[in-house]
Amino acid sequence: MKPSLKLKSMKLKLALVTITIVVAVLFRVFNEVYAFNMVNVEFRNVIGDEEVVKLEVTVINETPYIYRNLILAFKITCNNMRKYDESIVVRLKELFFYSTRTISVEFPKPPCISVNVKYSVEAELAYGLIKQVKAETITINIGLTRKETMFIVDSLPSKAKRNSIVFITGRLVAKSSGVPVPHARILVYDYDDGVWDDLLAYGYTDDLGYFRIPWVAKKVDFPDADAEIYLVFEGNTEYLPSKWPEEGYHKIFVYEPLYPPP
C-alpha cells in the first residue's frame, strides 16, 4: 500500500474514533440531563414547637447517576402575608444512584399556619459542563396533625416461577376514615435482618389510593429460595408511615421453571 493511502486510512480511522467519542459523550449528556427530572423532593414530616418548625425532607434519586455538590434552596413565606420570608440553602456532598437522603430544614415559627415552600434542586451535570435547576412550590399546613394509614393488600401467591411477574396490588387508606391516600410512594422490600433489606420494587398510588406494582420473581437470598415480602409507606406531611404486614412478612417460594413444586 502506498504511503498516501496509509495516511488516508489512518486519518479515516482517527475521524471515526473521534466521531464515536463525540457521539458517546453527547448521548451521556442527553441521558444525564433527561434523568435529572427523576430527582425528586418529598416533604415527609412536620415537627414544631413554640419557637421553630422543622421539616423532614427526603431527596430521592431514581436515576443511574451520582450527583455531587447538589444544592437545595428553600424559600418559605406565609400565605397572604409579606412580613415573613425565610431562605435556607442545604448542600449535599453527594447523592448516589437509586438512593435517598433525608435532611431537616429548620426555620423560626411563622405567624401563620399555612406556608408556601418554594424549593429548587441545582446540580452540575455532564462533567460540570451544564448547570440544571428544577423548582417547585408546595403549600404546607404546619399546624396539621398527621393521619394514621393502613394497607389493604390483595392476596399474594405463596409460590412463583423465577422470572415470572408477580403483581402486588392493593390500596393505601387513612386508618380512621378509610379515605384514600393518593400519590403515595409504596416500597416493596425483601426482609433480611431489618437493616440491610433489599428493595425489590416500588410504585405509586393513584387518585383513589390503589397501587399495582410489578415484581419480577427472583431468588434474592441465595441459596434460600424464599422472598420475604413486606410493603412500606414512608409517610409525608399529611399522613403517617405504615407497613404491611404490621409484623413479619409474606413468604413467596421462588422455584425454577424446570422444577415446579408439587
Integer-rounded Cα radius of gyration of the chain: 24
Residue 175 belongs to what domain range? 149-255
Cα separations (Å) of 183 from 25, 33, 171, 207?
Answer: 36, 25, 11, 7
3 state DSSP class of 261? coil
Query: Is residue 182 in some structural domain?
Result: yes
CATH number at residue 70: 2.60.40.10
- For residue 64, the Cα-to-chain-centroid distance in whole angstroms is 12
Question: 133 and 76, same structural domain?
Answer: yes
Q: What is the pLDDT along the chain (262 residues), one digit of tens a residue?
A: 556 665 666 767 777 777 777 777 677 777 777 888 888 999 888 877 778 888 889 999 988 888 888 999 999 998 776 688 999 999 988 888 888 899 999 999 888 888 999 999 998 876 667 788 889 999 988 877 788 999 999 999 999 998 999 999 999 999 888 999 999 999 999 998 766 788 999 999 999 999 999 999 988 876 678 899 999 999 988 888 999 999 999 999 999 887 777 6
- For residue 172, the Cα-to-chain-centroid distance in whole angstroms is 18
Question: 68 and 115, same structural domain?
Answer: yes
Query: Is residue 63 in some structural domain?
Result: yes
Number of domains in the chain: 2
Give the pTM. 0.68
| pLDDT of the residue at 88 | 95
Query: Which distant-in-sequence residues (6+ apart) come within 8 Å of 104 by Cβ?
Result: 54, 55, 56, 57
